[in-house]
Amino acid sequence: MITLTGDTRTGRSIMADCAPTVKKPHLELGGKAPLVVFDDANLDAAVESAVAGGFINCGQICIQATRMIVQDTIYDDFVRKFVERSKQIVVGPGKRWESDMGPMVSESQRKSTEEYIQIGKEEGANLLLGGGRPKGPDFVNGYFVEPTVFADVEQSMTIAKEEIFGPVIAIQKFSTMEEAIDISNDVIYGLWSSVWTKDIYKAFKVANALDYGSVMVNEQIAMQSEMPHGGFKQSGGGKALSAYTLESCTREKHIYVDLTDTVERGWHPTVFGTALKPQ
């Protein structure tokens, strides 16, 4: 067995390496988590968790709330509040207590993120915040990127479909429940998602329809050790956390023992056509 926590491209390579000897892969791969907000949700609570879940770890986490899918009747209010709250994020060196968001892990990851930002601009998304590198002596050492927010994102755009793994948020609009579900599921990933509504019927209907291994209702990141964590589609297979982890990493074996000394067995007629006669 081979276990991996990594991106989907690496997971595909691992699966190919497993094939010749038919090893079992346990893969926790990429994500493109939707945060779906209906117009009956607590808007302030949704915005607060969206900002925290979107910029946690500088966006370098597979369960990042990278797509905000918001009902059209509250879309403008959500965008305004989200941008205002995102402006309050303090970017700085991780060793400072006042820093909310530190640098990216490497120059290559920053470069990749900046390429996605440029693609978002070129494809017509509306850049409302960030998009560059913070200026000043505190940012000379480290791979910093500003908290970046795109609005009016269409599902056909690259930043709506591909995992960026950086502090870049795409805000999208929907009208009906069915449209919200379709937009959410229209990616290759299926790891993490959340739904925001006060209607419990709507919450469960959407949660059941979302093709994701975890669905939070009125919460974004509430990872619990006793609950299984793992994705569908190209987010991998197998579960981490909870007792399911032990099952994923366990090889079941069946041993059958008969001590009756019975000569004629109940299944013998299926082979011989008639019951065997004792010699």
Active site residues: 28, 62
Residue 99 has, within 13 A of its CA and on its CB side, a CA count of: 15
Beta strands 126-129 and 65-71, pairing class: unpaired
Give the separation between CA 219 and CA 35, rounded to whole angstroms: 9
Give the separation between CA 114 and CA 129, rounded to whole angstroms: 14
Q: How many residues does the chain have?
A: 279
Give the separation between CA 100 and CA 90, rounded to whole angstroms: 5
Give the separation between CA 54 and CA 167, rounded to whole angstroms: 7
CB 233 within 8 A of CB 211: yes
CB 202 within 8 A of CB 41: no
DSSP state of 194: E
Residue type, 150: F
Give the separation between CA 51 and CA 171, rounded to whole angstroms: 12
**SS3 call for 180:** helix
**SS3 call for 279:** coil
Give the separation between CA 172 and CA 125, rounded to whole angstroms: 10
What is the SS3 assignment for 124-150?
Answer: CCEEEECCCCCCCHHHCCCECCCCEEE
**SS3 call for 192:** strand
